[in-house]
Structure 1
Amino acid sequence: MKNKNKYILSIFAALAFMACDDEIDRLQPFTEGNPDTFFNSVSSFQNGIDGVYRQLWNYYSSPGSGLQGIPDILADNVILVQTGRRSNEVYYDYRYNPNTGGAIPLYWSECYEAVNVANLVIGAIDNLPDGDAKDNILGQALAARAYAHFDLARIFAEIPTQSGNANGSDGIVYVKVEDGDTTDPFAQPARESVASNYAEIIGDLERASGLIADDNGEGRLNRDGVFGILSRVYLYNGDYQKAIDAADQVSTTLANGTELPDVYTDDSSAGIVFELSINTTSEANGNNVGVLYSQSNATSTISEYALDFDFFNSISANDLRRNVIQFVGTNQGNDYNAALKFLGEAGQVNGRVDVKVIRAAEVLLNKAEAQFELGLEADALASLNELRSQRFTPFTAGTEEGAGLEDAIQFNRRVELCLEGHRFFDLKRRGESINRSPNGDIIDGSGTPAEILTLAAGDFRFQLPIPTDETAANPNLSQNDGY
């Protein structure tokens, strides 16, 4: 790695100024800081943890490359709009390489910055006296470190359930201060195996689950957040009973059909397990995360990506999620199935909203899929119907079984989590191909279709390349196959 495993003197961590409603407004860096002396109170440690959240926020809510959007662009939920700026077209057409800018270097650098700051907190944790406050700080740091490594692993390496040999393939470098990984600025570590990565991710999360507090305020991890993440990580790792058990530990209830639209205008926190909050009232410190999908004004919507014609029209008319996902955006005389979830807060079209990292709906879908994988079809159907009862009006309980039930779980996952950065990873972890429809970008299916309609299962491009700067700085850091 390139300077990702040393104690940094300029720490992107501290002096977190909190806005109203506990939103993390902005984080000012301090320079020439020494963790041994700076971290001397609960508040200074929490400032450090808030710096970790800031790094996560940086790569999830980047206006041009946010992780809430690129996985949908890489997959089959959306289509490139010809009248837009053609942003991220290199990703949409699978032409990325180790020198491609935007998402690839952003994810690598910001994830490891988050890891660095978390390790600084963990390394100094004994500056605090034993007790609940110390445990909570350590729990947040462990969970955030695990989550940043999890994002690195699923982006740049195979996922354990992706193929029969995924666990033995190259993962990423897991940096732990407890192992002395951050003490040598000239170290050049090699990649560990995927199996080793997931063992360490799970180890950090399981430890965090017994330490972290029930409520740390908006935009921060808490006990529900850790168990929600565990339900996802266990599912990715094929630990299906553990995924079910973790899901059962999450107390956050589903947003109902009335509440759901308000979730995406930040008027409601219903069903949110963990989100990355931004200061949506400040031009200087807000982040127009939604411009990755579109830019709107009073007269037009310049869509970058619209919902795929076949996908959107496969959603039932009595599915309440249709009106949460899509609105009709008009530009240059054409109508498009424009993306609604990141349009903005109530009355706004600036694309500035909080990023919903994990919701109770995903946790329930994780549980349903895990139940199906264990052959517990009646339980899986009950979990799926629990979700559908809050998403359809009128609601009629489903009776699917076998392959039909599996398809229903995956389709509802696709609809529920659409535009939130899941689709590429869901297809990848299941070892499935990406198959885009041959329709065009305009609302009636006409227009220009995608240049590349299929990415076959097992294609090397399911693993993004490691940036050239990193492999050049560390000769022991092997590049992914195919690049």
Structure 2
Amino acid sequence: MNYKNVYIAGVALALSMLTGCNDYLDKIPDNRTELNSVEAVSELLTSAYPDASYMMFCETMSDNSGDKGNGAQHIQINEEAYYWSETFSSTGQDTPEFYWNASYEAIASSNQALKAIEELGSPGDAMPYKGEALLTRAYSHFMLVNLFAKTYNPETADKDMGIPFVTEPEDVVIKEYTRQSVAKVYELIQKDLDAGLPLIQDQAYEVPKYHFNVAAAYTFASRFYLYTGQWQKAIECANNALSVEPAKQMRDWVDEYAAYTYYELRARYTHSEESANLLLAGQVTWWGRQFASARYALTGARRDEIVYADNVSGGDWAYKIYGSNELYLNIPKLEEHFKYNSINATTGRGYVMSPILTIEEALLNRAEALAMNNQFEESITDLNAFLSKRIKAYDASHVLTTDRVKTFYADNETVLNPFYSISEDQLPFVKCLADFRRVEYIHEGMRWFDVRRFRMEIEHNINNEVGEDGKEVLLAEDLRKECQIPELAIEFGLTPNPR
């Protein structure tokens, strides 16, 4: 396919070029000349993680969200995400464009670090940081291709438009790139994973959870291999993140979390001392203050559908839902940290320490890969480990068996359409895992990626102020599942996603 060229640059930089009045133009974009030590490289890599959040727009686009009605807080970009709009009225935080720019800025830091390590002669003490740079580059590209391109399908991936995969430092203010195929992007991500994983060392970091430590790196790899249908590799990678007793690594919603107050729970959920958090990233977002009050978010109907409905264990989920009425339903997961623009400023930005990789994901990834590998009893073991920390008063009556899973999902009408076939024996397990992920990641946006990879059809209810209520449907093959490429990038020649 003949892809057009594109200039990748942040919105602020591009606008400054149009106006011709920004000091940035007087600086050398590539500051590798200052990276003259391993310590400097390690410091640079703190900027190799996207400082933007996908949580708001992904959660809102998914079927975890509903319309609370006119009495709830109206946020324009929240509404635009709910209606799967092609364009957003803002390019600021919590929009797809903001995440696009932050991801490519993170990739630029990864590439600068890799080049600096090469110029330093690739000393032994730099190898953990080389591994981190490769993993951060792989992660940002993986997130971008799973937001702005079609879902991976090996039969069409070589023809589907992907994203630009950037491997060289930016040594000019504006650089020309090509939009590669989905297949090529995945190939290059796997190449970075293969090269980077053996180099990761937890001992290289004062606080490993702010970096790609071993458990986080292998959890991300397990996600990659799950999405590409490489079941054995997904299992092996998850094994490297999990202990022999994974339940002890998980958040304990049954006992520990049950004792917390609202604000204690919100602080604990994203804390570095929480064993379940494998990788935390500081991200610019207002979602920490809006996830409970936004109009298009968790409604009573969604709560009843996801949390209060019967589940395969026969017990009740232990997640703590707060909110005295429909308008403020929430599970207190996110705590905002407000940073003023300057010492004397009265304005600033909200940040959240986002748990972008967790031990629960490693467990659920392994359970799904085991089921797809026809290792049903091993998958059941992981499902029961998960339930032991998620079901109130968990006891023997809640323990799953293969027959119990099959019986519960026998009449379940959810349609899953991944690129690979799912057998009659596998399907109940995959549906069960999709349900577990859905309830586990309320507010966090992860449900959207299952909607995409399983090619699910979902509905959004519409509470009209005048007249009858209605619904909006997102079809299995709906083109709106691919976020539109930022307008500025399109203006520079990047082919937009079809609509």
Give 1:100 deviation, angstroms: 6.1
What residue number does 1:266 align with?
271
Residue 444 of structure 2 is aligned to residue 457 of structure 1: no
Percentage of pairs with the same residue: 24
RMSD, aligned CA: 3.3
Name whichever of 122-131 and 139-148 sits farther off: 122-131
What residue number does 1:478 align with?
495
What residue number does 2:289 align with?
291
What does 1:176-187 align with in structure 2 at a 5 Å threshold? 176-177=167-168, 182-183=170-171, 187=175
Contact 1:98 1:468 in 2 (8 A): no
Residue 438 of structure 2 is aligned to residue 409 of structure 1: no
Residue 354 of structure 2 is aligned to residue 355 of structure 1: yes
What residue number does 1:92 align with?
82
Give 1:106 deviation, angstroms: 0.6
Q: As a proportion of its length, which structure holds more helix? A: 2
Distance 1:94 1:380, change over 3 A: same
Give 1:141 deviation, angstroms: 1.0
Structure 1: which 5+ residue stretches go unaligned? 9-29, 61-66, 279-285, 296-301, 442-446
What residue number does 1:369 align with?
368
Give 1:206 deviation, angstroms: 2.0
Partner SS for 1:275: strand
Contact 1:72 1:420 in 2 (8 A): yes
Structure 2: which 5+ residue stretches go unaligned? 1-5, 14-25, 244-248, 259-264, 338-348, 407-424
Residue 37 of structure 2 is aligned to residue 41 of structure 1: yes
What residue number does 1:114 align with?
106
The letter of the residue matching 1:478 is T
CA–CA distance in structure 1, aligned partners of residues 296 and 289 of structure 2: 8
Distance 1:273 1:182, change over 3 A: same
CA–CA distance in structure 2, aligned partners of residues 139 and 369 of structure 1: 27
What does 1:35-184 align with in structure 2 at a 5 Å threshold? 35-53=31-49, 56=50, 58-60=51-53, 67-82=54-69, 83-87=71-75, 88-97=78-87, 101-102=91-92, 103-128=95-120, 130-161=122-153, 164-177=155-168, 182-183=170-171
Give 1:167 deviation, angstroms: 4.8
Name whichever of 80-89 and 304-313 sits farther off: 304-313
Q: TM-score, normalised by structure 1?
A: 0.77
What residue number does 1:394 align with?
394
CA–CA distance in structure 1, aligned partners of residues 275 and 39 of structure 2: 28
The letter of the residue matching 2:308 is N
Distance 1:318 1:128, change over 3 A: farther
Distance 1:36 1:351, change over 3 A: closer
Query: How far does the alpha carbon of each residue in 1:147-169 deviate from its partner, in whole angstroms, 9 at most, with x for none?
Result: 111111001001214x8524531
Partner SS for 1:199: helix
Residue 434 of structure 2 is aligned to residue 435 of structure 1: no
Query: How far does the alpha carbon of each residue in 1:304-355 deviate from its partner, in whole angstroms, 9 at most, with x for none?
Result: 62242422322669444421xx21145xxx664234222569xxxx986421
Give 1:107 deviation, angstroms: 1.6
Match of 1:208 among 173, 177, 196: 196
Match of 1:199 among 187, 196, 213: 187
Residue 319 of structure 2 is aligned to residue 322 of structure 1: yes
Give 1:451 deviation, angstroms: 5.1
Q: TM-score, normalised by structure 2?
A: 0.75
Distance 1:383 1:168, change over 3 A: farther
CA–CA distance in structure 1, aligned partners of residues 33 and 218 of structure 2: 33
Number of residue pairs matched?
417
The letter of the residue matching 1:456 is L
What residue number does 2:411 align with?
none
